[in-house]
Amino acid sequence: MNLWISAAGLGAAFAGLTTAAVMHPSSAFGGAVRRGPAGTVSLTFDDGPDPTWTPQVLAALAALDVRASFFVLGDAAANHPELVTRIAAEGHRVEVHGANHRTVVFRSPAALNAELIGVVDRVEALTGRRPRWWRPPFGARPLLGANPTRAGLRLVTWSWSAKDYVLGAAASAALPEVRSGAIALLHDGAGAPSARARTLAALPILVANARAARLAVEPLPDPS
């Protein structure tokens, strides 16, 4: 009985922590960059590469003549290395999301640092460039003090989201106002067609709004 209560309590605590991180990325356990340089808008894509959606996102970006940052999962990169190479070859930056999409909130420092270094090494081997940014799954950084700088990475979240992870969300739903220094969260990983339709529909709107505001649409620059 007591064991059941403890397990239930831990489960509730875990759900609360990850929900807080998704709902409040700017304070997802502190210390994260959430704005880019003034005068720019940075489009960032999580959870890829995906053989169905990543090529469609790349085609949309090429049609708009903009470059973005892709936060890849190491397991997906291992399964689709040609897509990682293509992302870089088309002028985009490849950064680190993690080995997989499991939360790192309770990961030990040693295990997490080893995981990040492994993904960094894989991306560098495929692209010739060492990643510099890490966005943890759900935007939730570890509680146990793991230091991504050991892998040469800086923690980054986002300033607003296209909410293209919401199943059934209308592709034409209102998007947040584009502001100077915005880091936009989108996804090119596996997802429901309605969610990825929102991704693809959001892109021309975001770019048009940014250009109307005289903001450059660029990948995240390397951290200083």
Residue 182 has pLDDT above 90, yes or no: yes
Which comes out higher in pLDDT, residue 77 or 198? 77
70 three-state secondary structure: strand
> Measured between alpha carbons, how far is residue 37 from residues 24, 63, 152, 219 in Å?
21, 24, 20, 10
169 is written with which tokens?
A: 């969300």
Question: Which residues face 72 on adjacent strands?
Answer: 96
| Mean pLDDT (whole number) for 199-214 | 91
The DSSP secondary-structure symbol of 156 reads B
Biggest distance spanned by C-alpha atoms of the chain: 61
Chain segment 41-97, per-residue pLDDT in tens:
999 999 999 999 999 999 999 999 999 999 999 999 999 999 999 999 999 999 999
**Please, which residues have CB within 8 angstroms of residue 83's CB and are 6 or more apart in sequence?**
48, 49, 50, 51, 54, 55, 77
Chain segment 15-48, per-residue pLDDT in tens:
444 444 443 444 344 578 999 999 999 999 999 9
Residue 174 has pLDDT above 70, yes or no: no
Dihedral sign computed on CA atoms, order 73, 78, 79, 83: positive
| Mean pLDDT (whole number) for 215-221 | 96
Model pTM greater than 0.75?
yes
Angle (nearest 5°) at CA 167 between 162 and 173: 45
Chain segment 103-142, per-residue pLDDT in tens:
888 888 888 889 999 999 999 999 999 999 999 988 888 7
What is the distance between the alpha carbons of residues 116 and 79, in angstroms, rounded to a whole number? 17
Q: Give me the pLDDT at residue 176, please.
A: 64
Domains of the chain: 2-217 (3.20.20.370)
| Residues classed as catalytic | 46, 187
